[in-house]
Amino acid sequence: MYRAGAENQDDYLILLSEGRLINLGNATGHPSRIMDGSFANQVLAQMLMFEKKFADLPAAEKKSNLYVEVLPKYLDEEVAAMMVGGFGGVLTKLTDDQAKYINVNVNGPYKTDSYKY
């Protein structure tokens, strides 16, 4: 794509993937219907951090409150349930026998503590 009226033919822009997001337009990235789950988890994590009021801690306490924490499974499962519904899927409730078999609570979270995402 050359600039109109450019004196120099070296003044151009290479447009890839018709100007769309390169990772989506060239089919090497994740589709937006998958990325929305990641974005939802990020927002829930930010809300969780806000609830803990880190910004309001006295300066002396902030350093001892810096840590990495995995998003609680119940929040991740909440996003997953919404995504299943968005795709037209239907979630059923675990029976007591099913929950006992996979060693989880009927109401979740549905992964054991040893499960790593």
pLDDT digit string, tens, across residues 23-73: 566 666 677 777 888 889 889 988 988 898 988 999 899 889 888 888 888
Mean pLDDT of 88-109: 93
What is the residue-averaged pLDDT of the chain?
Answer: 83
Mean pLDDT of 1-10: 66
Reading the block at residue 7, the tokens are: 């004196």
4 vs 74, residue with greater confidence? 74
pLDDT attached to residue 117: 65
pLDDT of residue 28: 64
Query: Which of 22 and 81 is assigned the larger pLDDT?
Result: 81
What is the residue whose two structure tokens read 């929950």?
Answer: 99
How many beta carbons lie within 10 A of that of residue 75, not counting itself? 16
DSSP 72-98: PHHHHHHHHHHHHHHTT----PPPHHH
Domain ranges in the chain are 17-102
**Residue 6 burial (C-beta neighbours within 10 Å; 0-12, 13-18, 19+):** exposed
